[in-house]
Chain A
Amino acid sequence: MTGIHWLASYPKSGNTWLRVLLTNYLRAAETPASINDLDAPWTAATREAFDECVGLESADLTREQIDHYRPAVFERLATEPGEPVFLKIHDAFTYNANHAAIVSKAAAGVIYVFRNPLDVAVSYAHHRNDSVDETISAMACDDAVLAGTDRAGGQLPQTLLSWSAHVRSWLDQSNLRVHPVRYEDLVHDTAGTFAAIVRFACLEFDTCRLEKAVQFSRFEQLRAQELASGFAERQPTAVSFFRSGRCGSWRDDLTRAQVDRVVADHRDVMLRVGYLSRTGDLLC
Chain B
Amino acid sequence: MTYAYTAYGLRLASAFPLPELLPSTPGIADITIRYADVPESLPDTSSHGIAWQCAPGRLLLSVVHVARYLIVGDREIHICPLPDSHESDVRLFLLGSVLGALLHSRRMLVLHASVIETEQGAVLFAGKSGAGKSTLLAAFLQRGYRMLADDKAAIALNGDEVPLAMPGYPLMRLTRSAADALCYPVQASQLRKSLDKYVLPIDAFCATPLPVHAMYSLRAHNRSDIQVERLLAVDTFDVLNGATYRRGFLHEAAQRRAHFQILGAVASRSRVVRIARPAHTWNVDALREHIEEDLRR
A73–B64 contact, CB under 8 A?
A: no
Known contacts A51-B129, A232-B221; is-contact A151 B195 (Cβ 8 Å): yes
CA distance A153 to B196 in the complex (A): 13
Check if B281 is an interface residue, CB within 8 A of chain A. Answer: yes
B64–A69 contact, CB under 8 A?
A: yes
B248–A55 contact, CB under 8 A?
A: yes
CA distance A73 to B50 in the complex (A): 7
Which residues of B are found within 8 Å of A231, using beta-carbon distances? 222
Check if B72 is an interface residue, CB within 8 A of chain A. Answer: no
A59–B194 contact, CB under 8 A?
A: no
Which residues of B are found within 8 Å of A47, using beta-carbon distances? 128-130
Task: List the A residue with the shortest CB-CB distance to B174.
Answer: A152
Task: List the B residue with the shortest CB-CB distance to A59.
Answer: B129
What is the CB-to-nearest-CB distance from A118 to chain B, in angstroms, rounded to a whole number? 28
Check if A48 is an interface residue, CB within 8 A of chain B. Answer: yes
Check if A62 is an interface residue, CB within 8 A of chain B. Answer: yes
Check if A72 is an interface residue, CB within 8 A of chain B. Answer: yes
Known contacts A48-B129, A152-B175; is-contact A62 B51 (Cβ 8 Å): no
What is the CB-to-nearest-CB distance from A231 to chain B, in angstroms, rounded to a whole number? 8
Q: Which of A53, A55, A62, A155 contacts B249 (CB 8 A)?
A: A55
Check if A68 is an interface residue, CB within 8 A of chain B. Answer: yes
What is the CB-to-nearest-CB distance from A128 to chain B, in angstroms, rounded to a whole number? 12
Which A residues from 129 to 154 make CB contacts under 8 A with B?
A: 150-154
Task: List the B residue with the shortest CB-CB distance to A237.
Answer: B280
B50–A236 contact, CB under 8 A?
A: no
Check if A234 is an interface residue, CB within 8 A of chain B. Answer: yes
Check if B65 is an interface residue, CB within 8 A of chain A. Answer: yes
CA distance A98 to B79 in the complex (A): 25
CA distance A48 to B243 in the complex (A): 11
Check if B257 is an interface residue, CB within 8 A of chain A. Answer: no
A76–B50 contact, CB under 8 A?
A: yes
Which B residues from 13 to 53 make CB contacts under 8 A with A?
A: 49-52
Check if A172 is an interface residue, CB within 8 A of chain B. Answer: no
Check if B247 is an interface residue, CB within 8 A of chain A. Answer: yes
Check if A52 is an interface residue, CB within 8 A of chain B. Answer: yes
Which residues of A are found within 8 Å of B197, using beta-carbon distances? 59, 151
CA distance A54 to B177 in the complex (A): 26
Known contacts A152-B178, A154-B220, A234-B222; is-contact A56 B93 (Cβ 8 Å): yes
CA distance A199 to B130 in the complex (A): 39
B128–A54 contact, CB under 8 A?
A: no
Check if A252 is an interface residue, CB within 8 A of chain B. Answer: no
What is the CB-to-nearest-CB distance from B181 to chain A, in angstroms, rounded to a whole number? 10
Which residues of A are found within 8 Å of B279, using beta-carbon distances? 236
Q: CB within 8 Å of B: which residues of A?
A: 46-48, 51-60, 62, 64-65, 68-69, 72-73, 76, 150-155, 230-232, 234-237
Q: A55-B246, A68-B64, A154-B131 are in contact. List 6 more A-B contacts (CB 8 A).
A: A48-B128, A55-B61, A56-B51, A151-B196, A152-B178, A154-B129
A-B contact pairs, 15 of them (CB 8 A): A46-B128, A51-B129, A52-B248, A54-B50, A55-B246, A57-B96, A57-B97, A59-B197, A69-B51, A150-B177, A151-B175, A152-B130, A154-B129, A155-B130, A236-B280
Closest 4 interchain pairs by CB? Answer: A236-B280, A154-B130, A47-B129, A55-B52
